[in-house]
Structure 1
Amino acid sequence: MIRNDKPIKGKVQLRFSNWKYSAGMRIVLFLALALFFYASLAGKVLPQTYDIKPNTVSEKTIVANQQIQDFVATQKAQDEAALKVAPVYRYAAIKHDQLIEALYDKLELNNADAEMKYDIKVSLYRDLFPSVLGDYTNQALNNARSGGQYSDTFLTEMKSQLESQQYKIPEEALYKLPRLTKEELTAMEPVTKDIVGKLMTDATTDAATARTRVTELVNSSTLTKNTSRELVQEIARFAIMPNKFLDAKGTDEARAQARENTKPVFINKNDVLVHKGEMITDQLYKQLGDLNLLKDKANYGPQLGLVLFCAFLTFGLFMFVRQSELPISTNNAQLLMLVIIFLLTLVTMRIVAIGESLEYSHIGYLAPVSLGSMLIMVLLNSQLAFASSVLISILASIVFNNDADQLFDFRYGLVTLIVCYTAVFALQKASQRSAILKAGVIVSLISALAVTSLILLDNHYTVREVAFSISFAIAGGLLSAVLVIGLLPFFETAFGILSPLKLVELSNPNLPLLRKLLTETPGTYHHSVMVGNLSEAAAEAIGANGLLCRVGSYYHDIGKTKRPHYFIENQMGMENPHDLIDPSLSKSIIVAHARDGVEMLKEYNIPKPIRDIAEQHHGTTLLKFFYHKAKQQNEHPETPVAEADFRYPGPKAQSKEAAIVGIADCVEAAVRSLRNPTIEQIDSMVRKIIKDRLDDAQFNECDLTLKELDTVGKALKETLLGIFHSRIEYPTEPLSAAKPETQS
């Protein structure tokens, strides 16, 4: 059991440690973002529903969430008006015996014709019944018209009802009719007349109702054959027709006019539908159902629509992140931070939206909508901030919409988009936290102008509305800045983010570690500043984080403060202590400054990216000076000095920034060793150092390309020329080889 548990535990830990780059985790995070979108919009888009039953006491006061027509009350009013118009019915006597006789005569005649084929008879009967009925109906209508007792409108309605309620003989019955004998037809005819006569004695407007009783009467008849019974039922149903007709046109017109004259009844937003403690009657229950306020009768169309809408928003953001070359496209930690930023933005918007129910006009402008854009700009990337601003503006246009007739309120969406874009532009080159507050002031002014323009365009405003709207807009911008300043430390600490603002703060020479470096190792401090200048220029040339390189350079040799005089830049003309000790001990002292630096940085809670630069800037390079010195002093040639014993323990550079700082560190030390460097010497020195590190496989664990290395070399050379331009000589003599720096 013990042997099996350990590998499982190791796999779990490995999977957990790799969550930052897990494809499954990315899917989970995007699904969580879609869920946040749904939860934030559900209250505005989806009608609130209640789990109540009829004939029970309501535990809550239920109000309308929007203005809507009260269909129950409107229908009731229309019905009352229509009921005042009395319907007009008239009886028209129809002699069904004549129709039945005509049908049986045709059947007897055609069935007796032995020369007529069976299929032809079937086809004939398919048209025969409607034809006979049509002739009979026309004759009945002509007789009624000739009598002059019925109006043309009534006769038209009568014809319409006779045709619309005409019974269609089933197809299977048509195939049985040709097989009837004369004797069977003779027995069936009186039974049919008797059944139809009984059913048509009373006036009826619905032939279908009368036809339902045919089966009962047929079963009680004297017919014994099943086929005869079945066909009598069909012929009787065919012969049954309505004999009481509504004067539909006049009645419908009068009722329609009465309905049109009835004004619709509306339920206004926030009108109380049911008071707490009130009994839910059947009528109230139906009304709540019509308003989609009941859970068991809820319309799930809006839910599905909202799911699709949130999916589109999330998919759009997913495709933007996926197609970009930003670190967030592979780093789930940054994606998690983005999800949290969206969550915070939506929560603040929803909190402000509560004020709308308190009838504060245009309180939506108070929402710190630029909060998300500011945080994304400072912590992640400007491109992502612009894309996210579009999503935030869409969400704001829904969250602050109060018009029941539309889904979006373009005013809030437009102002939000303007505000967010303004915030991103204002923070483009922010290097201090005070810049966030300045950006908040700019956002407030632009927001106030945007709100003012929309209010003036509306042309329906009061002084009070203008004052409140502009005040809310100004307060919203300032609130965004305050929240960003307050939340930045949380994100920087929780996610190990080194924002430009944090980096600038860490570069303050008054901080304890940098002051210690300046006062105890002034040579190292000067060296670190020079390395910072070089590495920043090189990093920016290839699109890496130049500010991280500069600040990382300030701290990369902080470990030298433990034994400052063992490093040549701090000896200030004093005797070199390495001349008096064994090379292996010198190696241990030199190598230890990277490890000591990391421990000191941890003690002062310096972020990990800077600690990584301090730990990785030497990689596993060889201390050539002490290695060759050890070889020269080796008194046992049979035991050669191992090169591995005089290498830094590493690790090798894991990032472009760490690799660039390492190159700049070596280049600065090497060029500083030259008394009067020339352009050719600087160029040769830079190329040689980069080539040596490349040949030594120091860049195998970072993603620096050969093209980028060439660009780094050019940037370092140009920066060095700017630094040493006043001391560069242009010799005519051939250049001598420069001595390598061994103790940087």
Structure 2
Amino acid sequence: MARKFWQWKWKYSGWKNSAFVRFLLFFVLGVFFYVTLAGNIIIETYDLEAGAVSDRTIRATKEIPDEAATVKAQEQAVRQVEDVYTTLNPDSLELADTILAKLEQINGDTQFSTSEKVDIYKGFFEQMHVETLDKLLDKAGTNERLSAEVEKRLNEQKYRIPEEIYFKFPRLSLSAIQEMRGVARDIVSRLTTDKMRDTSTARGKVPELVNASSLSSANARELVQEIIRFSVLPNQFYDEAATLKAREDARNAVDPIFIRVGDIIVKENERITDEAYDKLAQMGLLKDRVSYWPELGLILLVSLFVFVIYLFTRRSRLPIKQNNAQLLMLALIFVINLLLMKIVSLGQGLDYPYIGYLAPVALGSMLIAILLDDALAFLSSVLFSIMASLIFNTQPGQLLFDYQFGFVALTVCIASVFAIQKASQRSTILRAGLLVSVFSALSLASIILLSGQSEYVMSSIIFALLSGLVTAVLVIGLLPFFEVSFGILSSLKLVELSSPNHPLLRKLLTETPGTYHHSVMVGNLSEAAAEAIGANGLLCRVGSFYHDVGKTKRPSYFIENQGNRENPHDHMEPALSASIIHAHARDGVELLKEYKLPKQLQDIAEQHHGTTLLKFFYHKAVKLAELEGADAAEVKESDYRYPGPKAQTKEAAVVGIADCVEAAVRSLRNPTIEQIDIMVDKIIKDRLEDDQFNECDLTIKELHTVGRSLKESLLGIFHSRIEYPELPKPNKEGG
């Protein structure tokens, strides 16, 4: 039972109006969105174990800190830091002066015996060592480790004067001491100028320097050497605290090392180390740690995309609200646009990270604007920009939406819709493509200036400029495919069909000039009327051009083509005349099919008369029956009605009204405003009462609007002319 119901439902409504097909189209569109965007959002995971050999090369999918590499770099930086030595000047020159001054004082005092002087000198040199150490410790301050190092180094490098030297000091004369003073100061000053950690080298140079001095006494040269060696002290000491601080500063100065997107973590046929395994775990690339939240998030995202499209089409007044063929075309445009974006995005893995600006994102918006509707094109532009920011994301680990691509995509899509509105020539598409290039480059330039981007600037600008040309070429190439496959009459196609050079219009002009002129007049009337009610005025105009092409088969049987010739209907049976007149609608459809013109034009040619009655021939038949004594009731009205069908669209209905109005008003000799008003109102009223508008969605209010527009247009055509008075003849005699 249920199966029979669905078979009946399908047969009744057809796939173009089937709710099930509509649901299926939305579902398939959502699945396509999911599959297309999944690779940019959902990360592929691997079933791996530490220590196993990888069967593929795995690259990083997001940027994470590389702790092991960072620690290694920090250790390297620490190793490169040399030990820090602090300079503390022990003032060796002052120490030498103090020693010589003490020798001069003690040796000049006669109260001390030689043995006493020896004891004094032993204690004095020990005291000088302690005092020098104390001074250096004061300079070290609170740095305990430095103080300990100073004390250690000074004690280790303390010069111990030989015992016998103490017995020689008392023998020095005051003049010898004075002579030793200058030599000692000069040599100490020279030896302590440089940084010195170890005094052994400097002390080793003392004998050579003393021997080269001006001292002549051997005893003085020997004793001054000992004083100089004692006075030469280290002035640089290892500073452990400063060294540790320098190493810590070096460690902290190392910037964290990151694993960049695309870096190889594991190479094919390479063993997976614990370190590499931890990195894979951090990135969520292991199957045992996989999360299904991204899949759920993507499902919600594409569901929102589809839901937005559904809401718009549901509330739209366009045929796409119920016509699944148009919905299929919209879905196909989305598929083509996204596939082209995905193909271009493959170049991002070939060292062209900004090739996304080359993508013809505006292609979908332009096709939707031309083939469907501007408002739907604007909505689609927003969706395309969001998808572009996902597909061309150069930092998938850090960003979900890279809206520098999305911003450019939104700009060019909206600009293309404005540029392509009411396009009447194919060249308009090329101009729109150039505008896309300009807006793409300008929007990209704003991003570059705001962000301070310095890499790939020229290549990005070149890609942006080329995108508009690529878009225009693709639109021009794809437009005929959609027009033919879905029977879409775009404005561009209609303008092409309206050309007088079209073979069928040339046939109409040459064989039936009266009908051609009538068709042109009907086109002007119907276009204005259709635009007044929001219908497709261009379709009405072009449809009017072709609505009477069937008259080319028997042109002389139609009054506008007879001229001054005799009317053949005057000698024909009314039924035969009616059949000839009826046939022009059917003949027109056959001619339109023969010349492969779109179905919309065929429908207008077939429906513009609907099932109206040929009143003239019907009444003629009734009168003949009465004259012949036959029963007039036997004359069937149905035999004198057009076979129809009635107008199915507003455009067909408007063309039918304009056709009848133009013929009726043209039959008037000098139509006045009142006559035109009465004639238009009567024709519309007769058709309304004859139920000719029952099968189209033309409202009473719209009929009044159509009537008002027709009256205004007819007044412009049949306007009153001023009769100029005859000028008086010039007086030949008076000049």
The answer to whether TM tops 0.5 is: yes
- Once residues 421 and 55 of structure 1 are traced to their aligned partners in structure 2, the CA distance between those partners, rounded to angstroms, is 54
Measured against aligned partners, the alpha-carbon deviations of 1:308-341 in whole angstroms (never above 9, x if no partner) come to: 1222222223223323333322222222211111
Q: In the alignment, which residue of structure 1 is the partner of 2:23?
A: 27
Displacement of 1:283 after TM fit? 6.3
Q: 2:62, 2:283 within 8 Å by CA — same for their partners in 1? A: no
Q: In the alignment, which residue of structure 1 is the partner of 2:155?
A: none
- Once residues 416 and 367 of structure 1 are traced to their aligned partners in structure 2, the CA distance between those partners, rounded to angstroms, is 9
After superposition, residues 673-692 of structure 1 pair within 5 angstroms as: 673-692=667-686
- Once residues 255 and 710 of structure 2 are traced to their aligned partners in structure 1, the CA distance between those partners, rounded to angstroms, is 83
Choose which of 422, 431, 436 in structure 2 pairs with 1:443.
Answer: 436
- Once residues 711 and 253 of structure 2 are traced to their aligned partners in structure 1, the CA distance between those partners, rounded to angstroms, is 90
- Once residues 559 and 519 of structure 2 are traced to their aligned partners in structure 1, the CA distance between those partners, rounded to angstroms, is 14
Choose which of 499, 504, 507 in structure 1 pairs with 2:498.
Answer: 507
Distance 1:261 1:535, change over 3 A: closer
- Once residues 309 and 268 of structure 1 are traced to their aligned partners in structure 2, the CA distance between those partners, rounded to angstroms, is 27
After superposition, residues 292-691 of structure 1 pair within 5 angstroms as: 292-403=284-395, 404-461=397-454, 465-634=456-625, 635=628, 636-637=630-631, 640-691=634-685
Distance 1:296 1:11, change over 3 A: farther
My pick for the range that moved more, 415-424 or 30-39, is 30-39
- Once residues 68 and 582 of structure 2 are traced to their aligned partners in structure 1, the CA distance between those partners, rounded to angstroms, is 87
- Once residues 440 and 546 of structure 1 are traced to their aligned partners in structure 2, the CA distance between those partners, rounded to angstroms, is 26
- Once residues 450 and 390 of structure 1 are traced to their aligned partners in structure 2, the CA distance between those partners, rounded to angstroms, is 16
My pick for the range that moved more, 645-654 or 336-345, is 336-345
Displacement of 1:260 after TM fit? 10
Q: Which amino acid aligns with 1:648?
A: Y
Local SS of the residue matching 1:273: strand
Displacement of 1:727 after TM fit? 5.1
- Once residues 20 and 299 of structure 1 are traced to their aligned partners in structure 2, the CA distance between those partners, rounded to angstroms, is 41
Q: 1:44, 1:398 within 8 Å by CA — same for their partners in 2? A: yes
Q: 1:289, 1:298 within 8 Å by CA — same for their partners in 2? A: no
Measured against aligned partners, the alpha-carbon deviations of 1:263-301 in whole angstroms (never above 9, x if no partner) come to: 866322222122222345676555434322234542211
Displacement of 1:486 after TM fit? 0.7
Local SS of the residue matching 1:430: coil
Choose which of 54, 61, 68 in structure 2 pairs with 1:58.
Answer: 54
- Once residues 716 and 376 of structure 2 are traced to their aligned partners in structure 1, the CA distance between those partners, rounded to angstroms, is 36
Displacement of 1:302 after TM fit? 1.3
Local SS of the residue matching 2:634: coil
1:697 equivalenced with 2:691 (yes/no): yes
Choose which of 698, 709, 713 in structure 1 pairs with 2:707.
Answer: 713
My pick for the range that moved more, 261-270 or 574-583, is 261-270
Instruction: Say which one has the larger Rg.
Output: 2
Displacement of 1:9 after TM fit? 9.8
Q: Which amino acid aligns with 2:333?
A: I
After superposition, residues 93-132 of structure 1 pair within 5 angstroms as: none
Displacement of 1:728 after TM fit? 9.3
Measured against aligned partners, the alpha-carbon deviations of 1:658-690 in whole angstroms (never above 9, x if no partner) come to: 011000000000001011110000010000000
Corresponding residue pairs, total: 547
Local SS of the residue matching 1:701: coil
Measured against aligned partners, the alpha-carbon deviations of 1:604-624 in whole angstroms (never above 9, x if no partner) come to: 111111100000000000001
TM, length-normalised to structure 1: 0.69
1:722 equivalenced with 2:713 (yes/no): no
Q: 2:535, 2:651 within 8 Å by CA — same for their partners in 1? A: yes
- Once residues 460 and 253 of structure 2 are traced to their aligned partners in structure 1, the CA distance between those partners, rounded to angstroms, is 42
Q: 1:679, 1:728 within 8 Å by CA — same for their partners in 2? A: no
Q: 1:69, 1:267 within 8 Å by CA — same for their partners in 2? A: yes
Q: Which amino acid aligns with 1:32?
A: V
- Once residues 50 and 8 of structure 2 are traced to their aligned partners in structure 1, the CA distance between those partners, rounded to angstroms, is 57
Q: Which amino acid aligns with 1:338?
A: L
Displacement of 1:436 after TM fit? 0.6
Q: Which amino acid aligns with 2:697?
A: D
Displacement of 1:640 after TM fit? 2.0
1:11 equivalenced with 2:8 (yes/no): yes
Structure 2 residue ranges without an equivalent (≥5): 75-250, 724-735
Q: 1:64, 1:270 within 8 Å by CA — same for their partners in 2? A: yes
- Once residues 643 and 27 of structure 2 are traced to their aligned partners in structure 1, the CA distance between those partners, rounded to angstroms, is 43
Q: Which amino acid aligns with 2:533?
A: I
Distance 1:564 1:295, change over 3 A: farther
Q: In the alignment, which residue of structure 1 is the partner of 2:227?
A: none
My pick for the range that moved more, 517-526 or 300-309, is 300-309
- Once residues 451 and 383 of structure 1 are traced to their aligned partners in structure 2, the CA distance between those partners, rounded to angstroms, is 25
**Percent identity of the aligned residues?**
64
Q: In the alignment, which residue of structure 1 is the partner of 2:121?
A: none
After superposition, residues 229-248 of structure 1 pair within 5 angstroms as: none
Q: Which amino acid aligns with 2:405?
A: Y
Q: In the alignment, which residue of structure 2 is the partner of 1:233?
A: none
Q: In the alignment, which residue of structure 2 is the partner of 1:93?
A: none
Q: Which amino acid aligns with 1:501?
A: L
My pick for the range that moved more, 541-550 or 314-323, is 314-323
Displacement of 1:456 after TM fit? 1.7
Displacement of 1:470 after TM fit? 1.5
Q: 1:676, 1:728 within 8 Å by CA — same for their partners in 2? A: no
Report the RMSD for the aligned CA atoms in angstroms: 2.9
